[in-house]
Every structure is written in C-alpha cells, then in structure tokens.
Structure 1
Amino acid sequence: MQKLRKHLVIILTAVMLVCGWGVWLLLKNVLPASYFWAYPAIPSFFYIMGLVLINVITRDRKESQLKLVNLYMLIRLTKVGASILFGGSYLLFVKEQLRDFSIVFIGYYLMYLGLETYFFYRVEEIIKKKKVDE
C-alpha cells in the first residue's frame, strides 16, 4: 500500500498543480473581473482533503467489505460536510464575488469527486488482488 499511497499522492499533486495554476491563469488573464482574492484557498482545501483521503484509504488493514464500504461513505459524508463549512464560511463572512467563488468551488468539487472515485477504485483493485494472492 505504500507504493500505491505514493502513486496517488503524485497524481493528486500533479492534478491540483495543473488545475490550480491553470484556473488561476484563466481567472487572472482571461477573466480578470472574475478573480477573487481567496482563490488559492480552494485548491489548497481540496489538496488537503485529498491527502487525508489517501492516508485513510491506504492504511494497511484487513477488514470486511462492509466495513470498507462504511468507511468510504463516512469519508464522502465528511467531505461534503467540510465543503459545506468551507463554502458556507466564505459565503457568510466574505460576501465578495459569490457567483465566481461558487462556480470555481463547484468545478473543483466535481474534479475532486472524479479523483476520489479513481482513488477508491485503485485501492479496491489492490485489495482484491491481495485477496486473490492469499
């Protein structure tokens, strides 16, 4: 699982760097009226969420399938709650360029959802492979 963890962290870092800089350049140069000062917090938030996700799902443990499904659902619920807290905090306290923030935040959320699904898939593949080898 250590090898998989490193692989997933590299993928997460690459995707977040490319998306973070790409969206930043787009907002700064192409749509300067849509740039908001708190933009760097969004990719940082999802990067930290991704690191936590990777560390939780790649821990080497032998559990039943039901416990793994429950863990995945708990992780997804936690992600939704943290996202609501983060986005809601911005919407309640900052109140600047709400539409632009919401669009960018939802875009990152959907991108992160795809990454999360890929990470779960890869971990399940490794677990099934280990069970076949045993």
Structure 2
Amino acid sequence: MLLKAIKKKFIQELTGTGLILTIGTLLFFHFFFPERYFQWFPLIPVFFYVFGLFYIYMFEFSYQLGADKIAMTYLICKVLKFILSALVLIFYGFVIEDEVGAFVAAFVFFYFAFLVFETRFFLRFEAKLKLSKQVKNEKNTVHSNNTAAFVGNSNHDAESGNGQ
C-alpha cells in the first residue's frame, strides 16, 4: 500500500516538475533567445519524463525483491541515465547538428533539475521506509512476550524497597 501511494506521488510530482521546467525553458527561449530555439527541444522533456517513469517502476520492482536492493537500484538508474544522456548528446551533436550549443545547454539544465528532483524524492522515500520499519519494530517490541522480563515482578520490587 505504501509503495502504490509513493509511486502515485512520484508520477504526480514528475509530471508537475516536467511541465514547469518545460514551460519555463520555452519562455526563456521565447523571450531571451528566440533565434536559438531548435525543433528537437520537445524531445528533451519527453526523454526525462520517460526515464522518470522507468525510474519509479525499477524502484517498485526492486522493492518487491527486498528493501535492501533500493540503494543499488538508485545507483544503477543514475549510471544508466548518465550513459544514455551522454549517448543522446553525442548523437545529437554528430548527426542532427542543429543548434548544438542550445541543445546541450537545455539538456544539461533538465539533467541537473531532474537529478535534484529524483535525489530529493529518493531521500524522502528512504526516510519513510526507515520510519515505517522503525514503527514496525517498535510495535513488535512493545507487544512481544519478552517485555515482561524487563518490567520485573512488581510484588518483589515492592517488598524489597526497589520502587523504581
């Protein structure tokens, strides 16, 4: 249940972040550098949105394998995103060659913006997992039969004067 809520929240925040960044970048190009706008710009937000969806589904898959696999999944996704981003930049620079500087600047801007977004989300996700695990452990400790050994026998404490 926790994972479905987190996945839904991630997709909502991913969509909102993507729209805000796209509109902001379009307005930046329109008002400050209209001659530098390139027709391939819409592919940049689509790339990062699709990768964000891949990212959350990989987290869901790794969570089902075990919560201890999430950190490794995070690192694998970051490396994969870096490699794919480098390939996209190289491909664009050598094959398409249309406003390469503007494309690289916009792509790097989106890369770092989504890096911050995903890292922030991952840290919050890890904190919620630790908190839910801690609450679960506390419930097990409070309701387990071993707690009677720590409480002690109250009649014995009262007779010996140990009223702690």
Larger Rg: 2
Out of 11, 30, 33, the position equivalent to 1:31 is 33
Shift of 1:3: 0.7
Query: Match for 2:25: what amino acid?
Result: V
Separation of aligned partners in 2, 1:19 and 1:68 = 27
Shift of 1:93: 0.6
**Counterpart in 2 of 1:61?**
64
**Counterpart in 2 of 1:102?**
104
How much identity, in percent, do the aligned residues show? Answer: 27
Alpha-carbon RMSD? 1.5
**Counterpart in 2 of 1:125?**
127
The structure whose RCO (Cα within 8 Å, separation 6+) is larger is 1
Separation of aligned partners in 1, 2:37 and 2:108 = 15
Mean alpha-carbon deviation: is it higher for 106-115 or for 119-128?
119-128
**Counterpart in 2 of 1:84?**
86
Separation of aligned partners in 2, 1:40 and 1:84 = 18
SS at match of 2:64: coil
Shift of 1:112: 0.9
Q: 1:119 to 1:111 in 2, by over 3 A?
A: same
Shift of 1:64: 5.5
**Counterpart in 1 of 2:146?**
none
Query: Match for 1:50: what amino acid?
Result: G
Separation of aligned partners in 2, 1:68 and 1:44 = 25
Mapped pair 1:49 → 2:48: no
Mapped pair 1:72 → 2:74: yes
Mapped pair 1:93 → 2:95: yes
The alignment covers a number of residue pairs equal to: 133
> Residue by residue, what CA displacement relative to the aligned partner does 1:31-71 show, whole Å, maximum 9, x if unpaired?
11110110000011011111111222244426263x33222
SS at match of 2:98: coil
Q: What is the TM-score normalised by the length of structure 2? A: 0.75
Mean alpha-carbon deviation: is it higher for 105-114 or for 122-131?
122-131
Separation of aligned partners in 2, 1:61 and 1:30 = 47
Mean alpha-carbon deviation: is it higher for 114-123 or for 21-30?
21-30
Query: Match for 1:95: what amino acid?
Result: E
